[in-house]
Every structure is written in C-alpha cells, then in structure tokens.
Amino acid sequence: MKELLSGNAAIARGAYEFGVTVAAAYPGTPSTEILENLVLYPGVYAEWAPNEKVAMEVGIGASLGGARALVAMKHVGVNVAADPLMTFSYTGVNAGFVLVSTDDPGMHSSQNEQDNRHYARFAKMPLLEPSDSQEAKDMVGLALDLSERFDTPVMLRTTTRVSHSQSLVEIQEPQPRKLKNYLKDIKKNLMLPTYARPRRVALEKSLTGLKEYSEESPVNRIEWRDRSLGVITSGISYQYVRDVLPNASVLKLGFTNPLPEQLIRSFAAGVQKLIVVEELEPFIEEQVRAMGLALAAEGFIPYTGELDPGILAAALINAGIITSREGIAQNGYNLEEAPPVPARPPVLCPGCSHRGVFYALRRLKLNVSGDIGCYTLGGLPPLEAMDSNICMGASIGVAHGIGKANPALDARTVAVIGDSTFLHSGITGLLDVVYNKGHATVIILDNRTTAMTGHQHHPGTGRTLAGEQAPAVNMEALVRVLGVNRVRVIDPLNLAETEAAIAEELAASEPSVIIADKPCALLTKATRPAVRVQAEKCTGCRICTRIGCPAISIKDKRALVDAAVCTGCNLCLQVCREGALVKGEEKHA
C-alpha cells in the first residue's frame, strides 16, 4: 500500500518498520515531525530531551542497552550534540544507531545554513542522503544495518525540501526484532586514553571497509543516458537534475561518506563532460577534484541559499553546460507593470505574552541580547527590541560578556530567553553569571511551551511527548537554586508592572531573573471580549500600532480593532494615552 508521506513522516515510519524502539530529540524546524510521528507507533519509546546533546546521550545508552535507536535534530542541533558524537564514532554501537540531521538551506527557519555533511566526515561516520520520502524510509533501515555491520553511528542527512515535501511511500509491516544483550566491554566503551588509542586505529580500519561498501552500495547507482554529459549528484539535487537535464547520465549518490572513488572514476571515464550538482557546500565536488578528475565546470552553483530547478538551469547556462532551459518551463508573465506588493512578515500572535516585555524594553531603550524562539520576532519592526541572536541559550552568556567588557553597560543590558530555551541551555549560562559575579538581568519569557516549533512539551510543561503527565520543573525554584537571589514573577501583559520590574532589577548590583509568566496565547483558547475603540477620543496618534498587534489598524485616521482577531489581552489599552481604547464588555447570561 502506498501512502503520501513527508520525508519526516517517512523517517518515522522507517524507524518503526526497521525496529527502532528508543528515540530522542529536541524540536527544531525542519526536524520536529520525526518524533511527533514516531511516538504514535506501538512499541516505540520516544522523548523530547531538554537539548540535542542529551538526546544523543540517551540514544547512545539505548544502543548500548541493545535497542535500535534514532536521534533527530536540526542542523544546528548537531553542534550541541557534537561532543558525544565525536567520541561515539570511536566506541561504535551495540544495536544500530542513526542520527538524523535535517539541514535548512535557504534558512526558512534557522539562524545559519551549515552543511552537516561535513560533520559526517569530521566524525568519520557513514553518511546517507535521501532524495525523497521513499528513500528516506528505506535509508533508515540501511543506516541501522550499516551501523551494526560496521559498528558505527550513521548519519542520515536530509534538507528542508526532503523533510517537508511529501511523496508516495510503500508501507510495510515491521518485522519482529529482539533486543540485543548489554555488552560489558570497557576496552570498547570506556574512552580513556589507553583504550581510546586502539579505537582510533580501529576507526580507520572501519573506514576502509566503509569505502569498499560505498563502491557496491545499491544507493550509489549510475543511470546511463546520453553520455555527452555526466552529473554526479546527491540528495534533493538529484531531483532537480532530473528535471533540468532529463537526458544527462547521472551518478546518483545516496551514500556520500566515504565516497565511492572507483565508481566515480568509472563514471567519469564513461562521459565526455563531467559536473557535480549539489546544494550548499562543494562537499562532493572538492573530493572529486582531489581525485584528479577534470570537471567541465567548477563552483558554478551558488554556495548560498536553497537550490531549485530554476537556479540550477540558470547556473548551467552561465557555465556553458547547456544553452537553453530545455527541460523546464520558462513561459511566465511579464509583471513589470504589477502594483508593488507589500511584505507579509511573520509577527507575534494577537494576545502574545511576549509583546508587553518587548514594548517595555523598547520604551526603556535597553540593550537586549536575544535567543531562539517565537520571541526572536520581537527584533523585527515595529517592536525592534532585540540587538543580537546567536544560538540556543546564548542570550545569557552574551549579556554577561557585555557587562564584563564594559561595566557601564550592565545597567542597560538584559537577556531575554524562552522557557524551553532556558531549559535547553540557558541554565549553565545563568550559573556562570552567578559564579563569576556578573550582574546580568535575565528575563525568562515563560509561555509554558516550545512555541516556535508548534507547542512541544519540555521539562517545565508537566507533559511528555506521549502526552503523559510528568513532573513540571518549578522555574522560580530552579533559578534560586542556581544561586540567583533576586527572582520575581511578573505578568508581562501588565506594562506598568513589567517596566517597573525591569528598571528595578537593572539597578541591582547582582544577578537577577524576571520570570514573565503567561501561557502562549495559542494554548489558552478562552479569550476575553475584544477591545473597543471610542472613536471620539482617538486622535490618530498611532501609538497603539507600535505594539505590532495584528488586530489593530488605522482606518480614516482612527484606530480600528478587529474583534475577530483581538483576544482581549488589553495591552493596547495601556499604551493609548487618550483613553480611546477600552475593555470590551463581558457578556452576562
């Protein structure tokens, strides 16, 4: 039976069919749906870990414990997990282990677009690159088999267009599979220098075996067509090549570390002109060049942004490989006369609890080091109340560093971080502030969920990925036990309280934490009556539009509140100086 599945859903299906019984992840676009799908299958334990490093360690433990394991994360998540990963490739596995890295070329929802194929090479581990959902599912099985056969973790690397596009997948029933025995083998698993040195040698030997495998792997295949042009490609780029160059011969690589050198050489020998087509980094191209093979064009595809058939066609024309966009359409409208189209940027939702904090920070003209989550949108107009944003958990260390660089800045600098992000990797940053006698003021934007990726649970929500009840960490107590004496909880939709709290904590010469405590507006379905406008009092000053609420607009020089969108959070009332905005009336039965 065939089902239409996204790449992520297909990976989950593959994990189920090929006997994965333990999985862990931290949510991150475009990887999130892998575990959300996997948890639904019977006999699979799947969890949200507080961060990717922990997820990786849980997966390692599961493998040692004899269960096939899958760990999923977005590309930047592998940076967090890199520490255990680099050593795990030394110890190798007991039961099969697959690490899914979902890269995000074009940065649809990410702060950078790193190409994680380099991680596979760096960690000396096998790398598989599916090009559609069927391959994504099949390659989970292949990865687990290779993991056990070559005693190594395996990376399955997708990109957004594989993870988030859907294609037909053949569904099969899982085969029964037994847990392996736990192996007590300290020479293999206890990585202190005397045991690690032989493992380093064993790793090289294993790579030699993997190179041989790569030559014969069924996922590395030559498709002979017209031999005047040969294309080496992998992953989603394969699909673009088939659209743009339907007649070219193709070496489709599904197993890309280590590369099949002999196969590449024989393909090169069989074509007149050879090129490599890949997205982001010239990962394959550089290795092909290092083999001494001549390429008809080098570096002709942009190294930045997401590839698509249009960009590929243009690049091939520029490089003189083809003369026209023969394989693909080019028959569009000339839109030079079209009216200008205003942008539709993402915004904080109506009723969002972060809005009050950012409005206050903007009014107080503070330096704000930000973090990863919905609230990063507080950096965009009209709020524009965030100065930096580096990676998960960085906000606190950055604020601390600013204060250490210039103590005069301390009283004007705050860090903002979400609850899920704080539990991911903010805790250690705060510990550092306390330990090193910083004065940072940290605002934890606690909306009780991982909102950006679609409301996933975390150790503070009281629920697991499977929806079961769980202990919920007490944020205030946690912060206190880290050594912060000044901790206060505020209602972020109360502007006066928020501003006063921020001003007071900035003035304190010790670390302080403000917990802005209000659940995500999309979680609490009960909304209060919509705000009303008293048109005769409105002067059209537009101050209410500075909070960036999608429910408020200016029509005929007066404020207008869209009652269908307004959640009655009443933040705008507190901004209006004329008293023109008033609370909606409660309906009485």
Partner 1 sequence: MLKSIDVLMVGVGGQGTILASRVLAQAAQAAGYDIKVSEIHGMAQRGGSVVTQVRLGEKVYSPLIVKGGADVLLAFEKLEALRLLSYLKKDGVLIVNDQAIDPVPVLVGAAEYPPDIPEYLCTTVPGTLVFDATEIAGRCGTAKAANVVLLGAMARRLPIERAIWEKALAERVPAKLLEVNQAAFAAGYELG
In the annotated binding site for [4Fe-4S] cluster, the residues are 538, 541, 544, 549, 566, 569, 572, 576
- Decide: is 308 part of the binding site for partner 1 (CB under 8 A): yes
Cβ nearer to partner 1, comparing 151 with 308: 308
Per-residue contact flags (x/-) with partner 1 for residues 252 to 291, judged by CB under 8 A: ----------------------------------------
Interface pick for partner 1 out of 165, 189, 464, 527 (rule CB under 8 A):
165
- Decide: is 330 part of the binding site for partner 1 (CB under 8 A): yes
Nearest-approach distance from CB 271 to partner 1, in angstroms: 20
Span interacting with partner 1, options 121-129, 183-191, 304-312, 357-365, rule CB under 8 A = 304-312
Answer whether 507's CB lies under 8 Å from 435's CB.
no
Cβ burial, residue 174 (10 Å; 0-12/13-18/19+): middle
Cβ nearer to partner 1, comparing 323 with 330: 330
Nearest-approach distance from CB 308 to partner 1, in angstroms: 5
Question: Beta strands 220-223 and 248-253: pairing type?
Answer: antiparallel
- Decide: is 469 part of the binding site for partner 1 (CB under 8 A): no
Number of residues this chain uses to bind partner 1 (CB under 8 A): 59
Of the candidates 423, 374, 424, 431, the one whose C-alpha atom is nearest the C-alpha of residue 400 is: 431
Span interacting with partner 1, options 10-18, 162-170, 198-206, 410-418, rule CB under 8 A = 162-170
Cβ nearer to partner 1, comparing 212 with 326: 326
Q: Give the phi and the psi of residue 275 in degrees, each rounded to 5.
A: -135, 165
- Decide: is 192 part of the binding site for partner 1 (CB under 8 A): no
- Decide: is 1 part of the binding site for partner 1 (CB under 8 A): no
User: Which residues, in sequence order, are CB contacts of 358 under 8 Å at separation 6+?
Assistant: 348, 375, 378, 383, 385, 386
Nearest-approach distance from CB 572 to partner 1, in angstroms: 12
Distance CA 469, CA 295 (A): 58
Distance CA 427, CA 432 (A): 9
Distance CA 252, CA 234 (A): 6
Distance CA 299, CA 277 (A): 9
Cβ nearer to partner 1, comparing 47 with 562: 562
- Decide: is 87 part of the binding site for partner 1 (CB under 8 A): no
- Decide: is 471 part of the binding site for partner 1 (CB under 8 A): no
Answer whether 39's CB lies under 8 Å from 166's CB.
no
What Å distances lie between residue 558 and 5, 54, 106, 293, 566, CA to CA? 48, 53, 40, 69, 17
Answer whether 581's CB lies under 8 Å from 559's CB.
yes
Distance CA 149, CA 147 (A): 6
**Which residues make beta-bridge pairs with 155?**
99, 127
Residues that bind partner 1 (CB under 8 A): 2, 4, 29-30, 32, 108-109, 132, 160-161, 164-168, 236, 238-240, 242-243, 308-310, 313, 328-333, 335, 338-349, 374, 377, 381-382, 452-454, 542, 545-546, 548, 550, 552-554
